Structure 1
Amino acid sequence: MRTYLITLVGLLFVLFSYAAAYDPLDPNGNITIKWDVMSWTPDGYVAVVTMNNFQMYRHIMSPGWTLGWTWAKKEVIWTMIGAQATEQGDCSKFKGNIPHCCKKTPTVVDMLPGVPYNQQFTNCCKGGVLASWGQDPQSSVSAFQVSVGQAGTTNKTVKLPKNFTLLGPGPGYTCSPAKIVPPTKFFTADLRRKTQALMTWNVTCTYSQFVAQKHPKCCVSLSTFYNETITSCPSCACGCENKHKCIKSDSKLLSMVGVNTPRKDNAPLLQCTQHMCPVRIHWHVKLNYKEYWRVKITLTNFNYRVNYTQWTLVAQHPNLNNVTQVFSFDYKPLVPYQSINDTGMFYGMKFYNDLLMEAGPAGNVQSEVLLQKDKDTFTLKQGWAFPRKVYFNGDECMLPPPDTYPYLPNFAHQNLVAFSTLFCSIFLILLVLF
């Protein structure tokens, strides 16, 4: 009975993890790892490994991706171009020519920019940073070349690696088993001849916020022009485990050398706030015109150790199908369903505001959005003007409870205030005159 319960719990956990990995706003988003065997060697093969980030708004930021797997036999890595294994392992049985890596479970990372030309490979050497497909398709690819020994020299003797893992730069990705697919075809430089790989297999890795962390990484606050109330992020929206380690914005510790240096374990150094989130998104309903309305969006970084490069912000709102103009951000509509166009991605302009600086005076970026009203649905009542979902860098942010949203003042109440103000003004004038 106990064994049955353990099995059932394990099965439910796996099913829940896969369900959490499915993103309805990006249903086809994944990172595909492709191995193309390009040539045979006396004891193995030379392969090109390519990583394509097909996620629309989730990228891999610095310190970059880390790829791992388990060899099926006693394979070794003789050489690598464009990447390197983090550990060599025990290569003592080899004499003379020593392999690059002898570990059963190698861990591979990208090379940093600026490495010597003879160590570079096409689409390599970006420090492991992968842009999202929706933001910058040309920068969403990473590749390296690997020479594998003791591996078999035919399609029938080569065994596929197992247990692929992808970190980027933290947990969250779950990878499928390797699967043999039709060999990749290539065109020569003059586009007159087509060649193909000797053997190709794919691995698909999907992201789950549930696997990545137990708390959100961001929260949303709200305000409007018609109400002085500001709806703050929920208390401890991102967990309060780091509350005893947070630093006040006026602390003298911030002047210490090295306080902003990122740590290998990616531990944050947060500014003390009620919500304790690394990032806050503020949505402000700014103006209401006859045919348009205007929203101001502000992103604030409360992490003293992280600069968010190539950040993305995704919002879901029914009126995003009528975006007229976006000021100082780039914008791209996302259409996960053909019949619904209510989701859009905001991201920074290159060399202007695509870097969200660490916490401090410069740790925010902002823009305004002009939207044309949909006369059938537009209203300022019951929180309609606020977003339904918000994602930062692909992670869903915590929104305040709907019953705390800034309310629309009662029309009769407004008239009463205006009438009483007018009565007092007339009374004062009469006092002056008489």
Structure 2
Amino acid sequence: MDPSKSKSAFQLHVYKMPPDLNRSELVPPQNFKISGRLNPDYKCGPPVRVSPSVFPDPSGLPGSTAVSSWQVVCNITQAKGSSPRCCVSFSAYFNDSIVPCPTCACGCPSGRSSQTCSATAPALLLPAQALLVPFEYRSVLSTAWASLQRQTVPSPLPCGDHCGVSLNWHLLTDYRGGWSARITLFNWDDTSFADWFVAVELDKSAPGFEKAYSFNASSLEVNGVNDTIFMQGLPGLNYLVGEVDGNNPKKDPRVPGKQQSVISFTKKLTPGISVAGGDGFPMKVFFNGEECALPMVLPTSGSIRPVSRVVFSGVVAFIIVVMLMQH
């Protein structure tokens, strides 16, 4: 997305060994490979001879020229059948539950740990506060929430998503003239991400994009279709820190690195969309070039929230008053 950040230059010291001691014959190293820490691996082509590089002198004197230079071009690739390395959860203003990342979205554990959880059971719905808690500490929260929501709790419990980065897409508002969403990034790795970027594909509602309030964001036209929003951190704030210890490392769980922003949309260019019905949720999400796993279901407005006795009594009293007035 930024050509100035798509290049990397480095130097290698290559020693000659007998019998290849000819100083005029230079053979560059072969089989270059770059492994991404979170984003996919890169497949590199062979070294291609190019014009010798010129190295300017910082003092202003004439620079030096390399004896020989080679260029290696590497492109993002992903092996067929490989698991993603990031995932997305969905939530909305009309439902208290978080639809979490799918079970084993980024792969399942092997060995003994695979016998203590189910790789096939669907992930349990979560309360909002569980998003900030590492998966190994979510069992109490998720089972208690399942009991409140009258959701069946499988035994054994579902395995985690095992993703290094997760994103939450929260449908924040929906009104006649527009709508808004909040996107939150969580980094569960020990290492940080500098110059991160996120691309979100919205099938029908992307043309109504207006503004992101805490990120740099713009609407992109991909293959002639305006359905993608590209986001980066603001200058000086585009650093997604890694997971750190809690206030009390002996008792508190570790805390993920986190960044979030609200995104606003207008409906002027997208009349007839159903935001709550699905058009307000992304079809695809990419983090640093890696396509993330998405939930299998969307939040619904069919959840029944308990009504307090005081409110219920007030409703009954109002109905009685109306009946007496009619008589």
Normalised by the length of structure 1, the TM-score is 0.50
Q: Which whole-Å CA distance do the structure 2 matches of 1:226 and 1:332 have between them?
A: 28
Range with bigger deviation, 364-373 or 328-337: 328-337
Query: What secondary structure is seen at the aligned counterpart in 1 of 2:89?
Result: strand
Q: Which whole-Å CA distance do the structure 2 matches of 1:232 and 1:183 have between them?
A: 52
- The match for 1:210 is 79
Query: Is the aligned partner of 1:315 residue 2:200?
Result: yes
Residue deviations 1:184-226 (CA, integer Å, cap 9, x gap): 57889899x9997654432111222327x93221211112223
- The match for 2:274 is 379
Among residues 241, 255, 264, which one is paired with 1:356 in the alignment? 241
- The match for 1:234 is 102
Residue deviations 1:328-385 (CA, integer Å, cap 9, x gap): 1222444443x22322332223444622330634532211101222234632264121
What percent identity do the matched residue pairs reach? 27
Please tell me the residue identity of whatever aligns with 1:172. Answer: D
TM superposition shift of 1:168: 4.1
- The match for 2:213 is 327
CA contact (8 A) 1:311 1:356 kept: no
- The match for 2:44 is 175
Return the structure number with greater strand share. Answer: 1
Query: Is the aligned partner of 1:201 residue 2:64?
Result: no
Q: Which whole-Å CA distance do the structure 1 matches of 2:163 and 2:279 have between them?
A: 25
Matched positions, count:
263
Among residues 151, 173, 183, which one is paired with 1:287 in the alignment? 173
Query: What secondary structure is seen at the aligned counterpart in 2 of 1:429?
Result: helix
Q: Which whole-Å CA distance do the structure 1 matches of 2:85 and 2:188 have between them?
A: 11
Residue deviations 1:225-247 (CA, integer Å, cap 9, x gap): 23445322212212221693997
TM superposition shift of 1:180: 2.7
TM-aligned CA distance change 1:327 to 1:140, over 3 Å: farther
- The match for 1:365 is 259
Query: Is the aligned partner of 1:278 residue 2:170?
Result: no
- The match for 2:129 is none
Among residues 228, 250, 253, which one is paired with 1:343 in the alignment? 228
TM-aligned CA distance change 1:240 to 1:432, over 3 Å: farther
Among residues 306, 309, 313, which one is paired with 2:191 in the alignment? 306
Point out which structure has higher relative CO (alpha carbons under 8 A, 6+ apart).
2
Residue deviations 1:54-74 (CA, integer Å, cap 9, x gap): xx3xxxxxxxxxxxxxxxxxx
Range with bigger deviation, 312-321 or 161-170: 161-170
How do 1:20-59 residues align onto structure 2 when only pairs under 5 Å count? 56=1
Q: Which whole-Å CA distance do the structure 2 matches of 1:250 and 1:346 have between them?
A: 29
Please tell me the residue identity of whatever aligns with 1:342. Answer: D
Give ranges in structure 1 of 5+ residues lacking alignment.
1-55, 57-132, 252-271, 410-420
Taking only aligned residues, the RMSD between alpha carbons, in angstroms, comes to 4.2
TM superposition shift of 1:142: 3.7
TM-aligned CA distance change 1:181 to 1:370, over 3 Å: same
CA contact (8 A) 1:383 1:407 kept: no
Query: What secondary structure is seen at the aligned counterpart in 1 of 2:319?
Result: helix
Please tell me the residue identity of whatever aligns with 2:229. Answer: G
Q: Which whole-Å CA distance do the structure 1 matches of 2:66 and 2:12 have between them?
A: 13
Residue deviations 1:13-66 (CA, integer Å, cap 9, x gap): xxxxxxxxxxxxxxxxxxxxxxxxxxxxxxxxxxxxxxxxxxx3xxxxxxxxxx
Query: What secondary structure is seen at the aligned counterpart in 2 of 1:371?
Result: strand
CA contact (8 A) 2:212 2:263 kept: yes
Residue deviations 1:302-351 (CA, integer Å, cap 9, x gap): 34x333343322211143344321111222444443x2232233222344
CA contact (8 A) 1:317 1:343 kept: yes
TM-aligned CA distance change 1:220 to 1:204, over 3 Å: same
Q: Which whole-Å CA distance do the structure 1 matches of 2:166 and 2:256 have between them?
A: 14
TM-aligned CA distance change 1:181 to 1:175, over 3 Å: same
TM superposition shift of 1:388: 1.2
Query: Is the aligned partner of 1:397 residue 2:282?
Result: no
